[in-house]
Amino acid sequence: MKSVPKLIGQFIGILLLSIFLIFVLNILALFFIVLHQSPNESPYTTVENVADSLHKTDNGYEMDNATLTDLQNEDIWAILIDENTKTVVWETDNIPDTIPDIYSLSDISSITSGYLDHYPTYTGDAENGLLVLGYPKNSYWKHMWPSWEYQFIAHLPQTILVVLFCNFLLIIIIYIYVTRRLIKSVNPMVRGIQNLAARRQVKLKEKGVLSELAVNINQTSQLLQSQERELENRETARMNWIAGVSHDIRTPLSMVMGYAGQLEGNPRLTSEEQKKVSVILRQSEKMRNLINDLNLASKLEYNMQPLNLKKTNAVALVRQVVVDFINNDVENKYPIEWKTDESLISCITQADEDLVKRAVTNLIQNCINHNENGCTIYVSVCSTQSKCSITVEDDGIGASDEQIEKLNNTPHYMISDNSTSEQRHGLGLLIVKQIVKSHNGRMIIEHSRYDGFAVTLEFPME
Count the Cβ atoms, other than its own, within 10 Å of residue 313: 18
Q: What is the pLDDT of residues 338-380, one digit of tens each?
A: 999 988 888 888 888 888 998 999 899 889 988 988 999 999 9
- Whether 381 and 347 have beta carbons less than 8 Å apart is answered as yes
pLDDT above 70 for 93: yes
- Res 275: pLDDT: 83
- Res 286: pLDDT: 74
Q: Where are the domains of the chain?
A: 3-38+149-185, 43-134, 212-301, 310-411+427-460
Q: Which of 172-181, 419-428, 451-460 has the lowest mean pLDDT?
A: 419-428
Rg value, the chain, Cα: 52
- Res 323: pLDDT: 92
* pLDDT tier at 455, thresholds 50, 70, 90: very high
- Res 217: pLDDT: 86
* pLDDT tier at 95, thresholds 50, 70, 90: very high
- Res 92: pLDDT: 92
Mean pLDDT throughout 164-185? 80
* pLDDT tier at 1, thresholds 50, 70, 90: very low
Mean pLDDT of the chain: 82
pLDDT above 60 for 415: no
pLDDT above 90 for 389: yes
pLDDT above 80 for 104: yes
- Res 428: pLDDT: 76
Give 214's contacts (C-beta < 8 A, 6+ positions apart).
188, 189, 192, 204, 205, 206, 207, 208
Sign of CA dihedral 50, 68, 57, 98: negative
pLDDT above 70 for 26: yes
* pLDDT tier at 416, thresholds 50, 70, 90: very low
3.40.50.720, 3.30.565.10, 3.30.930.10, 3.40.50.1100: CATH of 310-411+427-460: 3.30.565.10
Q: What is the pLDDT of residues 391-412, one digit of tens each?
A: 999 999 988 898 888 888 865 4
- Res 448: pLDDT: 93
pLDDT above 70 for 121: yes
- Res 305: pLDDT: 63
Q: Burial of 297 by CB count in 10 Å (0-12 exposed, 13-18 middle, 19+ buried)?
A: buried
- Whether 79 and 90 have beta carbons less than 8 Å apart is answered as yes
Distance from C-alpha of 367 to C-alpha of 373, rounded to nearest angstrom: 11
**% of the chain beyond a pLDDT of 90:** 26
Mean pLDDT throughout 143-163? 82
Distance from C-alpha of 29 to C-alpha of 268, rounded to nearest angstrom: 117
Q: What is the pLDDT of residues 428-445, one digit of tens each?
A: 788 888 888 888 999 999
Mean pLDDT throughout 236-240? 70
- Res 422: pLDDT: 41
Mean pLDDT throughout 256-270? 80
- Res 37: pLDDT: 55
Residue 267 sits at φ, ψ, to 5 deg, of -70, -15
Q: DSSP 3-state helix, strand, coil percentages of the chain (rounded to 5)?
A: 55, 15, 30
- Res 192: pLDDT: 85
- Res 4: pLDDT: 56
**% of the chain beyond a pLDDT of 70:** 86
Q: What is the pLDDT of residues 58-75, one digit of tens each?
A: 888 989 889 999 999 999
pLDDT above 80 for 300: no
Q: Which of 9-18, 28-37, 172-181 has the lowest mean pLDDT?
A: 28-37
